[in-house]
Structure 1
């Protein structure tokens, strides 16, 4: 559930604006520069109509000689030119300053969102579409650009124009000031209400549909191999078509609400225009306004009208940017479930002993714990196999060692240090993992192998590839170690991906090693090569090996047999095979293993 689902419309605007203001503080100098420069430019724009009126009075005057009228007209024209120059210079200064300010904040916000998402729990990532998350971040980033333009370069000058113009008019003609003030207030209030109460709800729904479309696209493209394997292109086309259909309906509703809102706003503007022109004519008829005054009033209103007309668009853009930033702000507001303690320290591995002490753990809202008082010690340098039926708890065991989840009671220690008191980065850098499905970055083979040690030399990378039996196939590639592997490594076979993952683990040279079903989906030749590499890799390290194929673990120092979150058997292969009716022996017999001392016991 996202925070925006619990947030009302008004709170959404306040939350996004507070988020924006916090980011402005990081660019305080530029933000003040933009605000002051655009205010000065707008004030210059306000005074131009006043001198335009003086110019008309000079030309229309019957009490002045032509030379005197010309002099007054030229002075008014000079003032207009000077104000135009001030407007041009300060407007340019404002726009030139908002560029680095906005780009700096966009970069910082995107980096912050990406950094937080990277540190969210594995459960969060398992429940989120990567394509949707990317869309939330990029759409929110560009919404920041629009929001800055609206607040600093549109609504701020509009407010200056409205307040300044009403004040100038009221000083000379109170009635004119009152009419203009009432018209502006009515228009702005109606625009805000239409945007917040009428347009925004539809816009929020259409944004969710937009995010869903991004998720559907990313899901199908990332799993294209599966789509092709089942000839399901048409089915995925239909799935996207369904998502796009909902997006089209909701977006059309949003756009039509924008259209009706714009029509109502334009109607009100014309009513205000006619009212002001009528008041100006009445003032002239009563002798309270000259032709130049009428020109001043009408020209001023044309300026105000332009700003008022655009206020509707700006408020709509404000609401649009708020809607599009909501999900980005949600990401910034979410607290990572797994966080370093305030006094967390780096892990110092002396031998690599792993100890579970009365560990209690359950997933999410599950009422029954998976582990309840789990006690086990894995000695430094010991090679331990973890076996059991799916869901028995063996994968969770290695996840807790990495602190991918937090336990509810007890402690997990590495060389006596509680993993909860360590920095996550230092903990995971001391653990090398070869997963069942090796996921590679769409980068070069060199970069993928060196991911655990980006400062490794070319010689070290090649040595690791040799140890993992990966060098041979890499050298056959036209670009060798500079070959791009494709998204998730799709250009390589399963065995080749596993050997690259093993090379990565060799190069990382971590004291603790986790092998998670590393040979389960390979052909016999690839399995043999990888098994040899794994045996070399485990030497001198504390190794945890998850396996369904018991041939993988029979030569290990010790085997832990899991069943419903408990360790029901513990010992080397030979010992466990001697247990009559034992879980491990039963599993071995099903896989065709020959029981040792079948008649024992």
Structure 2
């Protein structure tokens, strides 16, 4: 019964604004059950008035009377079915509205959570939790109004008639209910516990599948299909074991319930026979009570199935509600800073940061100023904290100490939406949606891209952005041009093409501050040339923070910071750092050596024993 109590509290909280709809559902349910139960009473009249007293009626009066009652039974059945159909329709609509609303609120909450949440959770597991909760909640609401509510109404009506006809038989009928509820509650606790384990294993299996599908090229290239299948089988096997345990519990419960119901109905018939023998009730009333017993005990027999739906549904909802209780670690302040115009000045003041739960790594003593329209590059070996700096500026994470300012205002005091609207990011791995090229670029407009017929001005702006990003020409060579669907994560496009689509999206948004994080590191030389031309367009008159390995993207920056082990060890422009002949100088030499490496890669020198030697290992200079 605890499951139903949980659902009642959930229902009261989430559909309290739908009182009229709920009232109509309850009213239609009462109408349905009243006429359905009344149909049984018609058969009592046929038995007592006509079948038992058939010799007292003329042939014509007998058939007229019976046919009249049959016609009345049909009319009452029609009204009952009509009310039931209308009630089911309203219930279906309500269930869909509530489950969709719950799903949308949960999705909105998850999307509002900070980076630390998303980087620590499996995307597939979260997706499974949200989608399963929506589906299960829909089933629970339908089960509540279509079955449980009707069962309660029929129980109340029939119990009243039982007491009206013969209260002693009513007490016999009610005596079995506490025993019934005891065994139901006892098995429900076990079923609820097993269902939580099944859901947990199901989420892991779903996450495993989603992860493998996302990385299907890696799976196929390493011939790991069998390994991924074995991982899925392992999770499914555990879920299957839980399902078997749950099924056994249900079957035992169903056996106990069925035995109690049969015993109760036999008791009612036996008691009815006793009272008929003593002339206190009629045969029709015994038949009536026996048939009405169906309205009490058959729904109770189905109660175990209802509990299965409630157990699975409320566990799914509880998991999502647990997600919804997680608060974002990064919140926008009340009455946050919302400037009319952003100049684009960036200042890091003695900033230190390390990721939550990680004692090593991070950055410390970071201090620099980037004036409006300035160009700053951050270079250094992997793990030196370059990308971490880029995450602190749009407040994906908050600094542990120090301060990050934009236009002289601490980013913690900015309205979060206004801060991130002022910053555009072009990443190494551009994320494209499985949609058209047009919609992927127009995504920068915040929803306008979803219009079925975009305005002429929006289409013109998208094409202009694509031209500035040097993407228009290759887009027009595609069969459907801007209406070409790029596939999951842009899989139908090359790396350079995806980068230029991402740059066009940022150009369309036109933020005053740009972050270019390894925007060309994964491209071939030809694609790099095209992307570099596009980056020149986007960086003009914008404050630009560039994180890169390739010198072509940084040598013309006003200031270069060389980071190592989370600290700035050198700073200056390209020429001054080269003259210093320090870390940056050796970095440049290493880059030049790497650029010439393909010419000699794979060549071997002959030795006296004709044994080839491996190329020299290139190490990071210190």
SS of the residue aligned with 1:402? coil
Say whether the 8 Å CA contact 1:358–1:411 is kept in structure 2.
yes
Aligned: 1:531 with 2:517: no
Deviation at 1:36, TM superposition (A): 2.3
The equivalent residue for 1:30 is: 21
Taking the aligned partners of 2:359 and 2:224, their CA distance within structure 1 comes to 39
Q: 1:125 aligns with which of 118, 122, 133?
A: 118
Aligned: 1:211 with 2:203: yes
Aligned pairs for 1:51-450 (under 5 A) are 51-59=42-50, 65-66=56-57, 80-81=73-74, 83-195=76-188, 197-367=189-359, 370-371=362-363, 374-450=366-442
Deviation at 1:104, TM superposition (A): 1.8
Aligned: 1:520 with 2:535: no
Say whether the 8 Å CA contact 1:386–1:559 is kept in structure 2.
yes
Aligned pairs for 1:550-565 (under 5 A) are 550-565=551-566
Taking the aligned partners of 2:20 and 2:351, their CA distance within structure 1 comes to 53
The equivalent residue for 1:4 is: none
SS of the residue aligned with 2:301? helix
Deviation at 1:63, TM superposition (A): 11
Deviation at 1:448, TM superposition (A): 1.6
Deviation at 1:356, TM superposition (A): 2.7
Say whether the 8 Å CA contact 2:436–2:484 is kept in structure 1.
yes
Comparing 511-520 and 320-329, the one that deviates more: 320-329
SS of the residue aligned with 2:302? helix
SS of the residue aligned with 1:25? coil
Say whether the 8 Å CA contact 2:212–2:228 is kept in structure 1.
yes
The C-alpha deviation readout for 1:165-209, integer Å capped at 9, x for no partner, is 2232234323211111122332234223322x1222222211222
Say whether the 8 Å CA contact 1:54–1:73 is kept in structure 2.
no
The equivalent residue for 1:6 is: none
Deviation at 1:409, TM superposition (A): 4.4
Deviation at 1:379, TM superposition (A): 1.2
| Shift in CA distance, 357/171, structure 1 to aligned 2, threshold 3 Å | farther
The equivalent residue for 1:590 is: 590
Deviation at 1:382, TM superposition (A): 0.8
Aligned: 1:504 with 2:530: no
Say whether the 8 Å CA contact 2:183–2:253 is kept in structure 1.
no
Deviation at 1:69, TM superposition (A): 8.0
The equivalent residue for 1:5 is: none
Deviation at 1:389, TM superposition (A): 2.7
SS of the residue aligned with 1:344? coil
SS of the residue aligned with 2:425? strand
TM-score by length of 2: 0.86
Deviation at 1:391, TM superposition (A): 2.6
| Shift in CA distance, 562/593, structure 1 to aligned 2, threshold 3 Å | same
SS of the residue aligned with 1:289? coil
| Shift in CA distance, 477/299, structure 1 to aligned 2, threshold 3 Å | same
| Shift in CA distance, 398/173, structure 1 to aligned 2, threshold 3 Å | same
The C-alpha deviation readout for 1:123-171, integer Å capped at 9, x for no partner, is 2222333233222222211212211122112111211222332232234
SS of the residue aligned with 2:424? strand
| Shift in CA distance, 226/17, structure 1 to aligned 2, threshold 3 Å | farther
Say whether the 8 Å CA contact 2:342–2:422 is kept in structure 1.
no
| Shift in CA distance, 373/288, structure 1 to aligned 2, threshold 3 Å | farther
Say whether the 8 Å CA contact 1:188–1:312 is kept in structure 2.
no
Say whether the 8 Å CA contact 2:345–2:371 is kept in structure 1.
yes
Taking the aligned partners of 1:416 and 1:521, their CA distance within structure 2 comes to 35
Deviation at 1:339, TM superposition (A): 2.6
Say whether the 8 Å CA contact 2:430–2:502 is kept in structure 1.
yes
SS of the residue aligned with 2:279? coil
Aligned: 1:463 with 2:464: yes
Taking the aligned partners of 2:46 and 2:161, their CA distance within structure 1 comes to 18
Deviation at 1:30, TM superposition (A): 1.1
Taking the aligned partners of 1:183 and 1:571, their CA distance within structure 2 comes to 88
Deviation at 1:253, TM superposition (A): 2.6
Comparing 326-335 and 54-63, the one that deviates more: 54-63
Structure 1, unpaired ranges of 5+: 1-8, 595-601
The equivalent residue for 2:476 is: 475
Comparing 499-508 and 279-288, the one that deviates more: 279-288
Taking the aligned partners of 1:374 and 1:563, their CA distance within structure 2 comes to 11
Taking the aligned partners of 1:438 and 1:530, their CA distance within structure 2 comes to 13
Comparing 420-429 and 174-183, the one that deviates more: 420-429
The C-alpha deviation readout for 1:402-459, integer Å capped at 9, x for no partner, is 1111334444221133322333332222211110111211111122222213466333
Deviation at 1:540, TM superposition (A): 0.5
Taking the aligned partners of 2:587 and 2:35, their CA distance within structure 1 comes to 86
Say whether the 8 Å CA contact 2:92–2:142 is kept in structure 1.
no
Taking the aligned partners of 2:276 and 2:176, their CA distance within structure 1 comes to 21
Taking the aligned partners of 1:322 and 1:70, their CA distance within structure 2 comes to 54
SS of the residue aligned with 1:521? coil
Deviation at 1:401, TM superposition (A): 0.9
Taking the aligned partners of 1:517 and 1:130, their CA distance within structure 2 comes to 24
